[in-house]
């Protein structure tokens, strides 16, 4: 909700330690992330706050609410954004799939090949086209501002054995969220999807309720899953952990044009921060995992292709069951191919 406030403490000037003079605030943006201050979401919000408050010369204040202070889950928080009681919220695709099923396109396995291609695609028209579709589908209430990252890449991890082929996952009980698409992927690998709430996953691994999961290394280590018996990670990188940053369209459109430009640029700064943060945080996380006795397996190109081939039923499920799914998947694949070609061309020039 946009509201008038009276005072402003000194803020940072565009990410530097130069304090601006105190002056009247005209607008306040309330931003929510259901995570904690160790998360990439918090890093992004800190950069957003610093940039927007400085670039607006104090006209906009950004208040950050971590955890469940203002809302407790994705559905409730997005409802708050739609109603205008929350201005900014970050969700995963799982959190938004109930409203926009086609957002699961980014959960499709092996569509995005690497960080460099993913960052080109998510910084381009793919995100803008999603924004227009989502505004129309939400009655002009939910505005997708940008897509960043929250946790790197999903990989297969388990308590039982090294996994180098899909056959190694057969019969294994893998933790899944309630959403259909992640469960379809587990089935495609011959494993058994077992929906488990995130807070219960440690105990479920420890007691054998599940034998594996699909997470990034920073999430694995922040939750201390090796202490629950998680010993093996296969870096197949089957899904990019996209972070969808939403803003109340009412709040955004109520801002003067110059303030909308600043907020829009602030989300660019946030996106770049969340692209970088998981890469940095993964370094000590992998070191900590191996020091705890964990084993990391990097599949060859041929082995990774075997995983992608096994995942074909997931694409069929998506195009058959998600309205507009075939069109969105085709668009994403075209954008990926274009980004890959651009990257290859640039790389060829850069190495000469």
- How confident is the model over 169-184, as pLDDT tens digits? 999 999 998 888 999 9
Indicate yes or no: pTM above 0.85: yes
Q: Would you state the structure tokens that stand for residue 85, as one six-digit string?
A: 């009681």
In the block, residue with structure tokens 């909700």: 1
Q: What is the pLDDT, as a whole number, of residue 24?
A: 58
Q: Which of helix, strand or coil describes residue 162?
A: coil
Q: In this model, does residue 110 exceed pLDDT 90?
A: yes
- Pairing between strand 27-33 and 60-66? parallel
* Mean pLDDT within 27-44: 94
| DSSP class of 73 | S
CATH topology of domain 27-319+326-350: D-Maltodextrin-Binding Protein; domain 2 (3.40.190)
What is the residue extent of each domain of the chain?
27-319+326-350
Q: What is the pLDDT, as a whole number, of residue 11?
A: 33
Among candidate residues 16, 292, 2, 275, the one with its CA nearest the CA of residue 149: 275
Whether 191 and 170 have beta carbons less than 8 Å apart is answered as yes
Gyration radius of the chain's alpha carbons = 21
Q: What is the pLDDT, as a whole number, of residue 10?
A: 33
Q: What is the pLDDT, as a whole number, of residue 292?
A: 94
Q: Would you state the structure tokens that stand for residue 336, as one six-digit string?
A: 């990926």
Helix ranges, 2-114 (H)? 40-55, 74-83, 93-96
């Amino acid at each position: 909700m946009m509201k008038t406030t009276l005072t402003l403490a000194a803020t940072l000037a565009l990410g530097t330690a130069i304090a601006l003079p105190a002056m009247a605030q005209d607008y306040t943006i309330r931003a929510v992330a259901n995570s904690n201050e160790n998360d990439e979401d918090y890093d992004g919000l800190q950069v957003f706050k610093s940039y927007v408050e400085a670039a607006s010369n104090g006209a906009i204040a950004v208040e950050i609410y971590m955890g469940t202070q203002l809302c407790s889950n994705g559905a409730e928080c997005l409802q708050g954004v739609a109603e205008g009681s929350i201005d900014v919220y970050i969700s995963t695709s799982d959190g938004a799939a109930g409203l926009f099923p086609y957002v699961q396109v980014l959960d499709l396995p092996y569509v995005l090949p690497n960080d460099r291609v993913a960052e080109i695609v998510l910084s381009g028209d793919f995100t803008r086209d999603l924004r227009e579709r989502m505004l129309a589908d939400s009655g002009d209430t939910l505005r997708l501002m940008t897509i960043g990252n929250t946790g790197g890449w999903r990989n297969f991890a388990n308590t039982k054995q090294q996994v180098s082929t899909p056959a190694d996952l057969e019969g294994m009980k893998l933790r899944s969220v309630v959403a259909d698409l992640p469960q379809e992927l587990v089935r495609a690998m011959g494993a058994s999807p077992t929906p488990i709430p995130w807070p219960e996953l440690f105990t479920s691994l420890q007691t054998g309720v599940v034998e594996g999961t699909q997470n990034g290394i920073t999430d694995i280590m922040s939750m201390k899953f090796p202490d629950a018996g998680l010993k093996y990670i296969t870096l197949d990188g089957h899904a990019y952990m996209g972070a969808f940053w939403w803003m109340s369209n009412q709040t955004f459109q109520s801002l003067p044009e110059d303030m909308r430009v600043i907020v829009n640029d602030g989300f660019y700064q946030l996106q770049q921060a969340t692209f970088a943060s998981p890469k940095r945080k993964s370094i000590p996380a992998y070191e900590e995992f191996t020091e705890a006795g964990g084993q990391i397996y990097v599949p060859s190109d041929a082995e990774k292709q075997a995983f992608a081939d096994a995942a074909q039923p997931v694409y069929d499920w998506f195009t058959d069951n998600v309205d507009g799914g075939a069109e969105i998947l085709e668009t994403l694949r075209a954008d990926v191919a274009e980004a890959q070609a651009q990257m290859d061309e640039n790389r060829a020039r850069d190495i000469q």
